[in-house]
């Protein structure tokens, strides 16, 4: 068998016959690592091509799914796990990937499913310790310490589990390659083999993959196209909440979020995110505005804070946390023009409380209102919700799913709504609630009335 040395970029997977300091494909430095391949001449058996079949002759009743019971995880998966599908669970080390996987497996085992948790990172004793923290482990939950793919394949074929979990892909290696576990070629090879195995046996799998902040560790990024579903775990180190977001899903939508809180006994589902994110809000404070956002099909109330203060440096600072910086720059210009205020000598900071990230333009009006409120040092009316998209001329545009947003806000006791004019049929909503004030606005300049009083 011939061996060949090549250099592979550990970030993007680019192959090069010789070492280079900078990867010509992704431009990163010092990412090329030597990997040795054993070249087995490719043998393609004669007549192995499959013949095409008419699509209408295929009997298919829809994919078979089973729910985990951990609602927030089921939600991001699009309603449960599809048989034979491979789900990549990526995230920074220490974010809670092993924890959520173990919790999911405990739920599944409680339902009577035979689950197999394969860990290349922790000993079976360590796994047991974690599981005990999370509850009492059911009998049909099996664990194994295995890092060799060929062994994992044999175990899976003989043991016939209903689902497998592999923690983590960076610790598993295949005998086919000489490179070390965690290298791009091993990660890719193992992920591909696991996917083939799962499809053949119709067993679903969760694969854990570590990613660093810049996504530079070999792995998840290069195998996103191999697996069926890619989930990313997000969260700020100093906040207890964790979000699971679907980046890709062959069997469901990708805009849903799963929200959890890390507690002493594992991850707890956050069923009521609006309450969670507004918990410690300082009411009626200049610069603080509550925004009603939508994440997937779920409305979510978030506090938007702004601080406008005199700048003592030549180029004032404009910093947004949880909001797009470029959009903030644009909104500041629109605000200066429309509201007739001077901001060029001001430092402006915008923060979405709780470390949450807002990506929808519906937050524009809330951001500008917070900035204006901080500028004039007056709080907005109490119990007020603001949303609406702002155009360059200061016009306020309607937003999607306005009714969902309003209902959520009313449920939590908000009474005043500064929203795009005629975006909804207000009379339909008013019915069950008392003392609700809707302030429909067409142009940004109108927000002055609600603050300058
Ligand atoms: P872990 O799931 O091991 O992270 P990952 O697999 O993504 O590397 O989670 C590690 C962190 O979670 C660790 O800092 C401890 C914390 N943790 C809790 O706070 N409560 C718990 O019940 C568990 C199991 C972990
Ligand atoms: Mg782990």
Domain boundaries, the chain: 2-39, 65-271, 276-450
- The first and second tokens of residue 7, run together, are 């250099």
Looking at residue 120, what DSSP letter applies?
Answer: S
C-alpha 13/C-alpha 222 separation (Å) is 7
The residue ranges of DSSP E strands in 40-156, in sequence order, are 65-66, 81-82, 86-91, 115-119, 141-145
Tell which one of 99, 123, 240 to mutate to probe ligand 1, the residue whose CB is within 8 A of the most ligand atoms: 99
**Domain 276-450 is in which class?**
alpha beta
- The first and second tokens of residue 72, run together, are 């927030």
- The first and second tokens of residue 328, run together, are 């903030």
Q: Does ligand 1 have an atom closer than 6 angstroms to the CB of 91?
A: yes
* Cis before 168 (ω within 30): yes
Higher pLDDT, 62 or 224: 224
| Separation of CA 399 from chain center | 23
CATH 3.40.50.300 holds for 65-271? yes
Question: Please, are residues 227 and 244 in contact by the beta-carbon 8 Å criterion?
Answer: no
- The first and second tokens of residue 346, run together, are 């001001």
Q: Please report where in the chains the tokens 């499959």 appear, as a residue.
A: 50
Q: Which helix (H) or strand (E) holds 104?
A: helix 97-110
Cα distances from 374 to residues 346, 348, 368, 438, in angstroms, run: 11, 10, 10, 23
Tell which one of 96, 98, 100, 236 to mutate to probe ligand 1, the residue whose CB is within 8 A of the most ligand atoms: 96
The mean per-residue pLDDT over the stretch 172-181 comes to: 88
Cα distances from 135 to residues 104, 132, 161, 208, in angstroms, run: 12, 5, 22, 21
Q: Does ligand 1 have an atom closer than 6 angstroms to the CB of 357?
A: no
Residue ID of nearest Cα to ligand 1 atom 10: 94
CB within 8 Å of 412: residues ≥ 6 apart? 274, 275, 278, 301
Q: Could you tell me the pLDDT band of residue 1, with boundaries at 50, 70 and 90?
A: low
Higher pLDDT, 54 or 309: 309
User: How do residues 181-193 score in pLDDT, each as one tens digit?
Assistant: 888 888 889 999 9
The reported pLDDT for the residue numbered 65 is 86
Q: Does ligand 1 have an atom closer than 6 angstroms to the CB of 129?
A: no
d(CA 220, ligand 2 centre) in Å: 14
Q: Please report where in the chains the tokens 């175990």 appear, as a residue.
A: 155
pLDDT at 349 over 80: yes
CB within 8 Å of 362: residues ≥ 6 apart? 291, 293, 294, 387, 388, 389, 399, 400
Q: What is the pTM of this model?
A: 0.79
d(CA 147, ligand 2 centre) in Å: 14
User: How do residues 353-396 score in pLDDT, each as one tens digit?
Assistant: 877 889 899 999 999 999 999 999 998 888 899 999 999 999 99
Q: Could you tell me the pLDDT band of residue 4, with boundaries at 50, 70 and 90?
A: confident
- The first and second tokens of residue 92, run together, are 């920074």
Range 23-27, long-range pairs (CB < 8 A, 24+ positions): none
Residues with CB in 5 Å of ion ligand 2: 98
Give the largest Cα separation in the chain, rounded: 83
Tell which one of 73, 92, 94 to mutate to probe ligand 1, the residue whose CB is within 8 A of the most ligand atoms: 94
Helix, strand, coil fractions of the chain, as percent rounded to 5: 30, 30, 45
DSSP code string of 11-58: TT--EESS--SB-TTT--BS-EEEEEEEEPPP---TT-PPPP--GGG-
The reported pLDDT for the residue numbered 215 is 55
User: How do residues 158-168 score in pLDDT, each as one tens digit?
Assistant: 999 999 999 98
The mean per-residue pLDDT over the stretch 228-242 comes to: 82
- Give the ligand whose atoms come closest to the C-alpha of residue 99: 1
Q: Report which listed range, 46-60, 63-77, 280-294, 328-342, is most confident.
A: 328-342
d(CA 262, ligand 1 centre) in Å: 8
User: How do residues 106-126 score in pLDDT, each as one tens digit?
Assistant: 999 999 999 999 999 999 999
């Amino acid at each position: 068998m011939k061996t060949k040395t090549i250099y592979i970029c550990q970030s993007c997977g680019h192959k090069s016959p010789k070492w280079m300091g900078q990867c010509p494909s992704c431009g990163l430095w010092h990412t090329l690592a030597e990997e040795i391949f054993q070249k087995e001449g490719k043998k393609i058996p004669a007549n192995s091509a499959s013949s095409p079949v008419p699509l209408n002759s295929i009997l298919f009743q829809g994919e078979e799914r089973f729910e985990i019971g951990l609602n927030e995880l089921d939600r991001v998966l699009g309603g449960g796990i599809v048989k034979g599908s491979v789900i990549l669970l990526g995230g920074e080390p220490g974010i809670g990937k092993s924890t959520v996987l173990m919790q999911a497996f405990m739920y599944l085992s409680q339902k009577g499913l035979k689950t197999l948790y394969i860990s290349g990172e922790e000993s079976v004793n360590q796994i047991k310790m974690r599981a005990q923290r999370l509850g009492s482990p059911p009998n049909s939950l099996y664990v194994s310490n295995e890092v060799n793919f060929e062994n994992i394949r044999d175990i899976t074929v003989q043991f016939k589990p209903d689902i497998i979990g592999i923690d983590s892909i960076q610790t598993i290696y295949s005998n086919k390659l000489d490179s070390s576990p965690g290298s791009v070629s091993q990660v890719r090879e193992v992920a591909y083999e696991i996917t083939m195995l799962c499809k053949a046996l119709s067993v679903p799998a969760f694969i854990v993959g570590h990613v660093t902040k810049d996504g530079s560790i070999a792995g998840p990024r290069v195998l996103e196209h191999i697996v069926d579903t890619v989930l990313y775990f997000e969260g700020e180190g100093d906040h207890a909440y964790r979000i699971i977001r679907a980046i890709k899903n062959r069997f469901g939508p990708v805009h849903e979020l799963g929200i959890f809180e890390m507690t002493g006994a594992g991850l707890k589902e956050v069923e009521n995110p609006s309450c969670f994110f507004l918990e410690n809000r300082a009411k009626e404070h200049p610069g603080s505005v509550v925004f009603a956002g939508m994440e997937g099909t779920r409305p979510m109330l978030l506090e938007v804070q702004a601080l406008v203060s005199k700048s003592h440096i030549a180029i004032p600072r404009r910093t947004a946390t949880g909001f797009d910086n470029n959009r903030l720059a644009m909104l500041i210009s629109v605000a200066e023009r429309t509201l007739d205020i001077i901001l060029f000598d001001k430092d402006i900071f915008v923060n979405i409380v709780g470390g949450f990230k807002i990506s929808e333009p519906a937050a524009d009006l809330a951001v500008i209102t917070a900035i204006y409120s901080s500028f004039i040092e007056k709080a907005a009316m109490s119990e007020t919700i603001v949303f609406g998209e702002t155009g360059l001329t200061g016009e306020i545009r309607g937003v999607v799913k306005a009714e969902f947003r309003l209902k959520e806000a009313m449920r939590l006791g908000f009474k005043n709504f500064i929203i795009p004019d005629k975006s909804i049929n207000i009379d339909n909503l008013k019915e069950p609630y008392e003392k609700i004030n809707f302030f429909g606005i067409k142009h940004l300049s109108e927000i002055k009335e609600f603050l300058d009083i």
